[in-house]
Structure 1
Amino acid sequence: MTKHAAPEKQMVRIGFNPLTDCASVVMAAVLGFDEKYGIKIVPSKESSWAGVRDKLLSGELDAAHSLYGMVYGTQLGVGWQKRDMAILMNLNRNGQAITLSRRLAEQGAVDGATLAALMQSAPRTYTFAQTFPTGTHAMWLYYWMAAHGIDPMRHARVITVPPAQMVSNLGAGHMDGFCAGEPWGHRAVMDGIGITAATSQQIWPEHPEKVLATSAEFARAHPNTCRAVIAAVLEASRWIDASAANRMAMAEIISAVPYVNTSKDVISARILGHYQDGLGKSWEDPHPLRFHHEGAVNFPFLSDGMWFMTQQRRWGLLKADPDYLAVASAVHQIKLYREAADMTETPVPQGVLRSSTLMDGKQWDGSNPERYAASFSIRQ
């Protein structure tokens, strides 16, 4: 293990939104993994993804639990000022859900195919919410709808709602469904106001989800601090995934008011892979929310970042194809990650691209992003 210089900044303020997948950042601080690497992580609860972005750019936050696509949207200047960003690591895979209202379920819409049939047979304005225009949840929602023949840009109204406000807005009848991170999908099921129509891992098994992000400026000025943060969060990720008992202990801690602020049972079932859809169906999910998985989760594959750019291009958020590989190579701090992985004895994959097959049978491997982005029949 290589010895590295001391962190340039000891107190590191890391933003998060109240979601189950903020757990590795929170647990790195709670369990003291940060102190092992000469830093103190101060978790900062935020109320929206736009707030996270703004505080990252102003320097109020040093780093943040972030949406993959939000980082790329900022990097490419989609809907906001263009600023160079840095992804330090992936925080988790899987564990998000598309929820439909109980009212839609009673009309027969319980999955993608039946939703498409209902929208065709009973035309009106159907409203669905995602958590940020360029974010992961927007992309999962659009991909899922389009795979069932629904054009999200033409056949529906899509709005942006912060994750923790999804359930109350669904209950108030402001929308017909939403895509968000847990525990809010399960909360809607437990409250009897929504049903789980799809999990994100049904859309893309082992998909990338949140990342640990910072500005490129911060990463350049504080490489030792960034390396220490990655190492601390890697250790916390490994600890969470080590046992069901650790996951339950994590659920107890993050359910508290300073973090997710919900009951522990809303969090604990799905992190153990126990799913129910609100319609009487239960299953053990083979692709539950993962935080480490022997390091496979945490490596910032370039192809993961490139996929989000292909979808932003697909939906007209990007008006032209970027240089996908060059942009991802600039954003992903693979050298820092490898060094932190070495410090924590975390396995690192050989390559920087990986291959996946999504729900519509399309394969993504990062090899020809321009062709991939243009290959969808439903696109802008």
Structure 2
Amino acid sequence: MPLDTDAPPRPTLRRPVLRTLRLGFVPLTDAAPLLVAQELGLFDAVGLRVALTAEPSWAALRDKLAFGALDAAHMLGPMPIALAAGLTGVKAQVTVAAGLGANGNTITISNALVQELGRLARPLGAASFAALVRRRAAQGRRPLTLAVVFPFSSHNYLLRHWLAEGGLDPDRDLRLTVVPPPMVAQRLADGAIDGFCAGEPWGSHAAALGAGRIALSTGDIWPNHPEKVLAFAADYATRDPESATACTAAVIAAARWLDEPANQAEAVNILRRRAFPRLDRAEIAAAFEGMAEGLPLDAPLRFHNATLPRREQAAWFLRQMRRWGHVPAAVSDSAALAPWRQDIWRAAAARLHEAEPPAPSPPPSSPLGDSPEHA
């Protein structure tokens, strides 16, 4: 039979080429929504291909997002403000599409400080710690060194607020230094620092090492405070809003799954396999169980209710950044808080038939206001 050259060509079926979303995280318990979303196939379920990479420090993650090596990241709550303001010479616009957790940090102090206190009643009161600092100063001893994980972090500003409640000036009465989260426990064990504020499981790891004791959690300072966020490079969220929305939907679903008690054991398995292969299972499980050294926390790590990004919560961090002279007066509130958007979260939540989470706890107030008390 002769070939019919007038017949229309047969259509060629081609699978769409999926662009891989490059998503970075720092190994911490509150990166769980990202790890769970990948492990449970939630990214696949929304038609998204994700390359999830662990970064060694917050500075490395920030730079990769700012300069285009990442499309999105697990990010410290105050970091988008720092990027918008161009602090430390790195300026970039990001879009905060969701929160990744509430609470989840602990303040851990050395065994030597516990002995000086005489008795550690948790949560350690700011006045008791301040009395210890003043006693050491009166004896002519060196100032204490406390570590935070990044200059522009909830850890830094909540720790500063707590110290100021005791009447201390964090910039004059102590020495604050920056140590990446995976290194804080060993630095405490080595005596290089006297304490630290970091996300779990590093406080529990330090206690398990015998390097120190957990004195309080940041949830004791501000119950249910916002912690990490899911931030997209601003041009990515604009260029591919469908992928940003799909990713956010997967994260919301993962957060809901994580808050189910029946899923805690599997969550710990995922975190141990993907983030903490060298840690004991009990050290990872503590945050999911709402425990610190075997005692329950009043404000434990939670995920789902923190997913809606709230600008009014971010505004507290901005006030603290101004209070301590970290944000220039020339940077307007509107510019600093521009990264916080709810439209992506609401579009994602609509796909999941998610209701808006309940209103969060109000932030702590400062007895003398939020002006720079140390000036």
TM-score, shorter chain, exceeding 0.5? yes
- TM-score, normalised to structure 2, is 0.88
Asked if the contact 2:23–2:51 (Cα under 8 Å) also holds between the matched residues in 1, the reply is yes
SS state at 2:249 partner: helix
Is 1:143 matched up with 2:143? Answer: no
Asked if the contact 2:46–2:250 (Cα under 8 Å) also holds between the matched residues in 1, the reply is yes
Runs of 4+ in 1 over 6 A off after TM superposition: none
What is the 5 A alignment of 1:179-194? 179-194=197-212
SS state at 1:233 partner: helix
Computed over aligned residues only, the root mean square deviation of the Cα atoms, in angstroms, reads 2.1
Is 1:290 matched up with 2:311? Answer: no
SS state at 1:104 partner: helix
Q: 1:246 aligns with which of 240, 263, 267?
A: 263
SS state at 1:356 partner: coil
Asked if the contact 2:20–2:51 (Cα under 8 Å) also holds between the matched residues in 1, the reply is yes
Is 1:306 matched up with 2:306? Answer: no
Q: 2:193 aligns with which of 175, 180, 185?
A: 175
CA distance in 2, matches of 1:79, 1:255: 34
Quote the residue 2:347 is aligned against: 339
CA distance in 2, matches of 1:174, 1:195: 16
What is the 5 A alignment of 1:152-301? 152-242=170-260, 244-256=261-273, 258-261=274-277, 262-276=279-293, 282-292=294-304, 296-301=305-310
Residues 15-54 of structure 1 show CA distances to partners (whole Å, capped at 9, x for unaligned) of 1111100000001001000111110222101100000001
Asked if the contact 1:28–1:41 (Cα under 8 Å) also holds between the matched residues in 2, the reply is no
CA distance in 2, matches of 1:164, 1:137: 15
Residues 74-129 of structure 1 show CA distances to partners (whole Å, capped at 9, x for unaligned) of 11112222211211100000110111111111111743333211211112221111
Quote the residue 2:5 is aligned against: none
The structure having more radius of gyration, on CA atoms, is 2
Is 1:81 matched up with 2:81? Answer: no
Asked if the contact 1:85–1:215 (Cα under 8 Å) also holds between the matched residues in 2, the reply is yes
The alpha carbon displacement at 1:357 in A equals 4.5
Q: 1:60 aligns with which of 43, 48, 69?
A: 69
- TM-score, normalised to structure 1, is 0.87
CA distance in 1, matches of 2:331, 2:248: 28
The alpha carbon displacement at 1:132 in A equals 0.6
Asked if the contact 1:313–1:321 (Cα under 8 Å) also holds between the matched residues in 2, the reply is no
Is 1:18 matched up with 2:36? Answer: no
Residues 279-323 of structure 1 show CA distances to partners (whole Å, capped at 9, x for unaligned) of xxx53223210011xxx3110011111111111101100131743
* Percent identical residues: 35
Quote the residue 2:329 is aligned against: 320
Asked if the contact 1:301–1:354 (Cα under 8 Å) also holds between the matched residues in 2, the reply is no
Asked if the contact 1:100–1:194 (Cα under 8 Å) also holds between the matched residues in 2, the reply is yes
The alpha carbon displacement at 1:239 in A equals 0.8
Asked if the contact 1:131–1:160 (Cα under 8 Å) also holds between the matched residues in 2, the reply is yes
Residues 249-307 of structure 1 show CA distances to partners (whole Å, capped at 9, x for unaligned) of 11111112x4133222101123111223xxxxx53223210011xxx311001111111
Asked if the contact 2:224–2:361 (Cα under 8 Å) also holds between the matched residues in 1, the reply is no
The alpha carbon displacement at 1:9 in A equals 5.5
